[in-house]
Amino acid sequence: MAHSNPITIGMLAHVDAGKTTLSEAILYSAGSIRKLGRVDNQDTFLDTGDMERARGITIFSKQAAYNYNGSSYTLLDTPGHVDFSAETERTLWVLDAAVLVISGMDGVQGHTETLWSLLKRLGIPVFIFVNKMDQQGTNRARIMEQLKNRLSELCVDFNNIDYEEVAMCHEEALEQFLESAHVDDVLMSRMIMERKMFPVYFGSALRMNGVEELINGIDTYVSCPDYGEEFSAKVYKITRDDRGERLTHLKVCGGSLKSKMLIGNEKVNQIRVYAGDKFTSINEAVAGTVCAVTGLSETKAGQFIGAGGEDNIPVLEPVLNYKLNLPAGTDPVALLSKLRTLEEEEPELHVEWDENFKEIHVSVMGPVLIEVLTNIIKTRFGVDVTFGEGSIVYKETIKNKAYGIGHFEPLRHYAEVHLLLEPGEPGSGMRYECHCSEDILDKNWQRLVYTHLCEKMHRGVLTGSELTDMKITLVAGRAHPKHTEGGDFRQATYRAVRQGLMQAESVLLEPFYAFSLEVKRDYVGRAMTDFERWVRHLTCMRLMVIMLLSQVKVRFQ
């Protein structure tokens, strides 16, 4: 089916499922590339970085394009390794549909279920490609049973479509089937786009088996979103090119984006459409186009530009914090400013400055990212850093309401801020509001207090950890007609937050994971013994890991 706007397809998988190989096969089959690269030969079109080719994994999401039956498609290949899952999560935000790649040998893995949950949260239609079916020991029926049990009962084998099975997914499809023993493509397309059905294709990307069927299925069943005429866009990534120029990667979601166009107070200099590590400059990007823009310095990953949309708040957060060990003679303050540019590109890094010890700390998703970060810092900034032993990232919240009052009144300065602190729902993050009469405090001062609340990561009073799951509301304040300056309200706001925390009952939050342990029946006893020994070992290391056996699900094979 021909589409008037480009369609964005994301490639997702657990590591080593063959996702990048499938991406290469799609591009090759559609005629977008002339040579079929291989991960083990380190010559794939999309994995262009030295570390990516050396390790044989995708680290950064990559973009490519292909045309099929008169329609334009943008393919976004995402990392499969769990340590880079935040990069994958950011990319999901701009997808029209996703291809979830599963190894026919390994089946559904733990990270596969995490990706499935993220796709469900964002309401993204999913095509499933079961790869490596050419390997001995794969069982098609067993895989289908696993997909239905662990992902969704709405998974349907589309290599050999059984319309009766399709009919069981939707009431309207059942009516069609009872009338004609058939379900038409238009209805099946709507079912797929509304996540009422998930097509499953079996094949081998390496041997080009099943790839054409997948491409045709995407072309037949993926429909183009309805775009408005007013310009809007979703920013999903910030990078820098070889010359250090800042790139804002975005998807146009309404109207069109033109070079020299103003976004806020900044002008778009260049619009680039990337294919691997190369790009083509264009003068206009229509709705549906995924591109990189130069000239914007204030954009951030997850930002929605324009009216009618909200910023994307990530679900996955780092739980490990590391101290950065610098070589002798390195100025930590100078390096800190450089690391802030990396924080733009990798927001989950959470670069922090410890004023008391003059140390730099970073929060990351896992140890593989530490290796990548070490390489980036050496390559880009010429500094050989090492990382100290990792520690758990804690957060703090409060149990009850509390009022905080902050004064700042040295000679010829005055500001007073009254805040209401309230506990929020788990996972709600920090929210700020103003419920203050302008008769008490002028609107401009209220906006200033709100800005100071939002501009800083506030810390709790138990361990100094980041605050979360709270709402802070400005309820009152005072200014002096002569002696109040903007900086006075900054100090008063921070003091009000801390004073309120001292009045409230604080709670320390610690991260935990729920595990699924898959073992053969004969090894259950040994696995549980090893598991209990592992928990005792972690406790001795003072990692404070909460492991409740009731949360551990043991599956028998």
CATH for 263: 2.40.30.10
Are 15 and 152 members of one domain? yes
Place 139 in a pLDDT band, splitting at 50, 70 and 90: very high
In a domain, residue 357? The reply is: no
State how far the alpha carbon of 470 is from the alpha carbons of 255, 463, 490, in Å.
Answer: 37, 17, 20
Q: In 3D, which of 68, 77, 136, 66 has the Cα closest to residue 101?
A: 77
Residue 293 clears pLDDT 90, i.e. is over it:
yes
Looking at per-residue pLDDT, the higher value among 311 and 295 belongs to 295
Q: Does one domain contain both 178 and 41?
A: yes
| Domain membership of residue 266 as a residue range | 232-305
For residue 198 the two structure tokens come to 């998930």
Cα separations (Å) of 417 from 393, 445, 474?
30, 10, 7
Residue 514, pLDDT > 70, answer: no
Query: How many domains does one find in the chain?
Result: 5
122 and 176, same domain (yes or no): yes
Which residue, 221, 240, 274, sits at the end of a domain?
221
Strands (E), 306-358: 320-325, 352-354
Rounded mean pLDDT, 519-541: 71
Is the residue at 311 inside a domain? Answer: no
Boundary of a domain, candidates 196, 221, 246: 221
Q: What angle do CA 501, 473, 304 make, to 5 degrees?
A: 115
CA distances from 446 to 157, 166, 409, 432, 492 (A): 58, 57, 18, 12, 12
Q: 556 or 480, which is more confident?
A: 480
Rounded to an integer, the average pLDDT of 40-51 is 55
Specify the pLDDT at position 351.
81
Q: Quote the DSSP letter at residue 331.
A: -
Shared domain check, 216 and 132? yes
Q: Assess whether 35 and 147 both reside in one domain.
A: yes
In this predicted structure, the answer to whether residue 59 has a pLDDT above a threshold of 70 is: no
pLDDT at 556: 37
CA 103, 106, 107, 108 torsion: positive or negative?
negative
Contact 168, 174 (CB under 8 A): yes
Q: Are residues 531 and 429 in the same domain?
A: no
Q: Is the pLDDT of residue 553 over 50?
A: no
pTM, to two decimals? 0.77
Domain assignment present for 355: no
The per-residue pLDDT for 355 is 74
**Are residues 151 and 22 part of one domain?**
yes
Residues 109 and 242 in one domain: no
CB neighbourhood size of 363 (10 A): 19
66 torsion bin: left (phi>0), alpha (psi -120 to 50), beta (else) = beta
Among the ranges given (97-101, 108-112, 530-534), the one the predictor scored with the smallest mean pLDDT: 530-534
Question: Please, which pLDDT band fits residue 43 given cuts at 50, 70 and 90?
Answer: low
Containing H/E element for 418?
Answer: strand 415-423
More confident residue, 411 or 217: 217
- The answer to whether residues 192 and 88 belong to one domain is yes
Report which listed range, 82-91, 174-183, 269-278, is most confident. 174-183
Is residue 46 included in any domain, yes or no?
yes
Q: What pLDDT score was predicted for residue 85?
A: 67
